Structure formats: structure tokens, C-alpha cells
Amino acid sequence: MKDFAHWLRVFREKSGLNQKELAERVGSTGSYISMLESRKKPPPSDEVVRRLASALGVEENLLLEFAHLERTPYDIKEQFEVLRGRVERETGLSRWATGPFREKIIPLLLYQVACPPPYLAPTEEASAPPPPLRKFHRRVLALARSAGDFARFANEVASLLEGLDEEALSALQDWLPRIWQPSGAAPRPAAPAISRLPILIEVPWEPVEHAAVSSGGWKEVPASLWAPGRYYLIASGTAMYPRIEEGDYVIVDETMPPENGDLVAVIHAGQGQILRYIESGDQVEFAPANPQFPPIRAPRASVGKPGGPTIRGVVVEIQRETK
């Protein structure tokens, strides 16, 4: 299987580095590199993938592509072949989702969802897509932040579109025309001239709409990272090391529902932590990256209930201060 694990091993062996040497260059451990190459761990975050690519002397976009493909819940090529078959039925939906419209117009509209131009005012629906599009929408936002410009975004968003089933394509067709304000409508809250987010210190991390006076002050952010319902936490401890280090600033979005594998801010037994959210049947696990710390396991039905863990949002950005 020529996946992320395969190419990581190939590139490492070609570079002449052993697992321990590669780990030292990216701030990790040899055992972690071994688990990546043996598929005992999923591909790491984009930040770690970029460090791996730099240490191995390979194009970071190549290694990122393999990581992104593996994070997709369905095999994109297989899904695309299914869609290709549906195109042959010549439905209006298939014609809408293929050809120049899909190659040019849809990527432009999606890019404007993530990076609204000043002459357009997005509606509330722009940040609240229908259920079949929620995971797709989050990937589009992440891709827009990492791509840097529209040309690169348009090239990479094609694989996301190929991974959509017909239900999602239909939802996309209905949703895109409704994401911009008609003339005279009240605009969605826009980023202020000086964008800033509250830093929440005291558990239970007061909801952002109530944080007129932040327990930890405020921190300025780029306008692209500002959104209603977002706040900063300052990481403490080493439960998520090396993904998150003590003192890192972490942006959390309390309006975003968690999905399997997300980093989340969770409160349990009076303590607030940042852990990875993992679903397993009717159970959930909040897992640390550091094996010295125990995970939190609970019935899914207990999340958000008295005595159970409470999720206070999904991590959308990790910032490390330059020392």
C-alpha cells in the first residue's frame, strides 16, 4: 500500500537517516517515527508533516498530499470512479458538478467562503453548512489557510470535491447560492478592525459570548482567524507533547462540533485539558499524546451531562511564541 507510511519510510531510507536521527531533527522520538511507518499511528498534523519533509529534503506539498488523502474517510479515487459513473447518467446534478464549472467556479466560491472579499458579506449559512457538508466545509477552511493563494487552493480542493458523494454534491448545489447576503440584508458579524480573541484562564472557561471581561486578557489575531465563538487557551502541562507544548497559544472554536480525531478543549472532574477526541461505538475517549498520561473514557451519552466530560470547543490553531 503506497500510503503516507510507505512514502515516509522510502524518503527516510533515501535520505540515509535512521528513525532516531529523523526524530531528533523534527523534535519527536524514534518510537513515534516507527509507529508512523508501521501504520500504528495516523499521519501527524500538517505542522509535523512539514518538519518531516524539511528534514528529509523532499517537497512538503508531496508529503502533505499523502497525509491529507489518508485523513479522508473514503478512498478518494474509488469515490471519484463512483461519481464518474453517475455522470454517465447525464443528470443535471452531475453536469453541474463536472467540467469547467467544477474546475473554476466552485473552487472560487469555496475560496470566498474561507476568505471573504471585502465587497461581499457572507450570510450565517456560510459558516453553518448543512450536515452532509460539515466535514467538507472544515477541510475547505483548513486548506484555504494552508494554501496561501487561490491558485494553489484551486488545485488542491479538486481532490476534496472528488470525495463528495451525490448527497453532498446536492447539498453543495443548494448551499453555495445562499452564502452571500442579498442587497440590504444585515451582514454576518465581521472581524473588527483590530481583531482579538479573549484568553480564558479560569475553568470552566466562561462561554465566549459572556466574556466581555476576559479572565486572561485579550490577544490580537489575523482577521482570517477571527470568528464569533473563538477564544484562546494557554497550554499547560505535557499531556499533548510534542503536538502542543507548555505555553503554546491554542485557538478554540466553541461553535464547532467535534469529529473523530479532533483536538478538543474538554473539562472533566474540574480540570480543563486539550485532548484528542476519539469515537468508538457508544463510547468516547479523550486521549493525550503523551503515554505517561491516562485517557478519559466515558459513554457517549454522558458527554455534556452532569458528572461527565464537557467539550468546550474544537482546536483550530496552535501558535508557538518565538523565543
Q: Of 24-38, 180-194, 227-241, 290-304, which range is least confident?
A: 180-194
Q: How far is CA 11 from CA 7, 53, 60, 64, in A?
A: 6, 9, 12, 13
Contact by Cβ (8 Å): 317, 250: yes
Mean pLDDT, range 105-131, rounded to an integer: 68
Q: Is residue 190 part of a domain?
A: no
pLDDT of residue 77: 42
Contact by Cβ (8 Å): 274, 314: no
What gap in Å lies between CA 198 and CA 207, rounded to an integer?
10
| CATH code of the domain containing 56 | 1.10.260.40
| CATH code of the domain containing 306 | 2.10.109.10
Considering the domain architecture, whether residues 243 and 314 belong to the same structural domain is answered as yes
pLDDT tier at 299, thresholds 50, 70, 90: very high
pLDDT tier at 82, thresholds 50, 70, 90: very low
pLDDT of residue 104: 58
Mean pLDDT, range 292-318, rounded to an integer: 90
Considering the domain architecture, whether residues 83 and 67 belong to the same structural domain is answered as no
Domain boundary among 18, 36, 71: 71
Does the pLDDT at position 98 exceed 60?
Answer: no
Nearby residues of 205 by Cβ (< 8 Å), 6 or more positions away: 231, 233, 265, 267, 272, 312
Q: Is residue 212 part of a domain?
A: yes
Beta-bridge partner residues of 220: 196
pLDDT digits (tens, 9 = 90+) for 219-234: 888 777 777 778 899 8
pLDDT of residue 135: 85
Assign 3-class secondary structure to 218-231: EEECCHHHCCCCEE
Start-end of H helices in the chain:
4-15, 19-26, 30-37, 46-56, 60-71, 76-87, 92-96, 99-100, 106-114, 134-147, 150-162, 166-175
Domain boundary among 149, 178, 207: 178
Antiparallel, parallel or unpaired: β 271-280 and 263-268: antiparallel
Q: Indicate the pTM of the whole model.
A: 0.45
3-state secondary structure of 299: strand
pLDDT of residue 4: 82
Nearest to 200 by CA among 188, 213, 189: 213
How many other C-beta atoms are found inside a 10 Å radius of the C-beta of residue 107?
21
Does the pLDDT at position 119 exceed 50?
Answer: no
Nearest to 47 by CA among 320, 307, 292: 320
Does the pLDDT at position 69 exceed 90?
Answer: no
Nearby residues of 198 by Cβ (< 8 Å), 6 or more positions away: 208, 211, 214, 215, 216, 217, 218, 231, 232
Residues composing the chain: 323
What gap in Å lies between CA 276 and CA 264, rounded to an integer?
6
Considering the domain architecture, whether residues 65 and 93 belong to the same structural domain is answered as no
pLDDT of residue 42: 82
Domain boundary among 47, 71, 95: 71
Domain that holds residue 313: 196-319
